[in-house]
Each structure stands twice: as C-alpha cells, then as structure tokens.
Structure 1
Amino acid sequence: MIAIFNKFRTGLMPLYILLAMLTASVTLVSCSKDDELEIQNDFPFEVNVMPVPKDITNGQTVEIRMTIKRTGNYSNTQYYLRYFQFDGQGILQYYDEPPYLPNDLYQLPKEQFRLYYTSTSAVSQSFDVWISDSFGNEKQMNFQFNSTD
C-alpha cells in the first residue's frame, strides 16, 4: 500500500511544479502599472528668516540670514532666488557675489545662507524675495526698511 502511495505521489510531482509555476505567473501578470511604487520627489518647504533691523541709512548694509527648511529630502532639489524692489533703491547680493538684478533667477548653492542689502537711497525701501525650488514650489518674503537720513 505504501509503495502504491509513493508511486502515486511521485507521479503528481510534475503536476505540483506546473501548478506552482502557473500560480507565480498569474501573480506576476496581475501587477499592473497602477500598482507601481511612486517615489515622491516634490516636497514643500518653508523659509526661516532671522529678524532684521527696521531702520536703515543711505549706504548702510543689513545682513539677512535665511534657512530653507524641507518637509522631505530629495537630493536633486535645486533652490532659486529672485527679488524685486518696488520702493527706494538698494543692492541685494549673496555674500560677496555680484549684486542681484531684479527679477532674474539665481541658483542658491546652500539651504542656509546670508543676503546683504545695501541702501542706496535716502527714502524708505521695500522689496520682495522669492525662493523657489525645481518643482515650482515658491515662498515670498517682504522686507521693509525705514530711512533714518
């Protein structure tokens, strides 16, 4: 009886292998493109700005310290800066780099940096700074200085 059972079981072995291969192929085919793993690379961010003085005199330079705070980390994200001055006149620059031109886009090499604004007028001054990333997220900061001349 045992010999008959062993012969019967051995005869079914190819059937078990075929059944396992069929199950595996059905499982692989049932994965569609809708089930693909999505990798998120677009993360919103915030910009922290240290306090700046309210008053400025003609020729005075004010340091503006900024830090970009990511909500996620995607290593290929690039950050950019542009600014527009709508009251008074002044010069905005990154460290000792050449001054920024209004509305031009500049890549930021670091997420923590300092800008330097130098007043070139004797009236109150206002300008906006926009920080954007390579995915279109953007933050706007407004700076206003009262003239003390």
Structure 2
Amino acid sequence: MKAIFNKFKTGLLLLILSASFMLVSCSKDDELEIQNDFPFEVNVMPIPKDVANGQTIEIRITIQRTGNYSNTQYYLRYFQFDGQGTLRYYDDAPYLPNDLYSLPTEQFRLYYTSNSIVSQAFDVWISDSFGNEKQLSFQFNNSN
C-alpha cells in the first residue's frame, strides 16, 4: 500500500511541476509577435528632364514592400515649390498641395502637366498606415 501511495505522490508532484513549468513558459513576455509594420522602397521609372508649358508627362511608380501585410494602406501627398503645374492619378482630378490621398494599388502612374514657362520642382511623399514615409523629388527644366 505504501508503494502505491509513493507512486501516486511522485505522479502528483510531476504533474504539479509540469503545470508550473507550462504556466511560467507561457508568460506575457514571450507572446508570439505578429509583424505588420514593414518598411518599403519606392521605384520610379526614368522620366524626361525637360517639359514644355502645357505638356503632360507620365511618372510610373512602384512601391516595393519588404514584407507583406494585407491591411497596409498607402498614401500620397505632394507640394510644388517651383513653377506651376498639376499632378493627378490617372484620370482623377488634380491633387491639391499637401492633401493626403489614398493609393489603391502599389504600382501606379501619376501625370504631371506643366503650367509654367520656367523650371519646375515638386516633392511627393508616399507613406503607409504605420507611419513609414519616402520622399521623391522631381525637377523639370522648361523646354521651349
């Protein structure tokens, strides 16, 4: 009878130790982390250096993710600081300076139309829903 009791005690002790070990190993500090904030790069196809007043040029842009989180949203804003012109997404209305616009895809085309007889320059900022941001600078000489 004593042998059965000792085996029961040993089994119960092992069960308690196993449960304690599992509780300690599953503490909040060791929770599984799911990464959803991935940096990105922006690639721009070559564009002309000269643009004439009234001329429209195409700017092809691709956002290159370093990881993939399906709920990431991308945004664009721009500011023109030299010359005059309009920037638009495909056939949409021209963007307003410093307003934030949602980008529906990671590969897209912008169209810049010159309204100036002097050189022009503007910056485009592309950001994601996690605060990562890339700045693109564009400069065009006037071609007569």
TM-score using structure 1 length = 0.89
- The amino acid that maps onto 1:131 is I
Q: Specify which of 130, 138, 143 is matched with residue 135 of structure 1.
A: 130
Q: Point out 4+ residue stretches in structure 1 off by more than 2 angstroms.
A: 10-17
- The amino acid that maps onto 1:138 is E
Alpha-carbon RMSD across the aligned residues, in angstroms, is: 1.7
Contiguous gaps of at least 5 residues in structure 2: none
> Deviations for 1:72-130, whole angstroms, at most 9, x for unmatched residues?
11111111000000001111000101110000000100000000001111111100000
Residue 29 (structure 1) shift: 2.2
- The amino acid that maps onto 1:129 is V
Alignment of 1:57-136 (within 5 A): 57-136=52-131
Contiguous gaps of at least 5 residues in structure 1: none
Residue 138 (structure 1) shift: 0.5
Pair 1:144-2:133 in alignment:
no
- The amino acid that maps onto 2:72 is T
1-structure distance, mates of 2:8, 2:111: 78
2-structure distance, mates of 1:76, 1:13: 55
Pair 1:18-2:12 in alignment:
yes
> Deviations for 1:33-78, whole angstroms, at most 9, x for unmatched residues?
1111111111111000000000001111100000000111111111
1-structure distance, mates of 2:5, 2:12: 13
SS for the counterpart of 2:126 is strand
TM-score using structure 2 length = 0.92
Identity %: 71
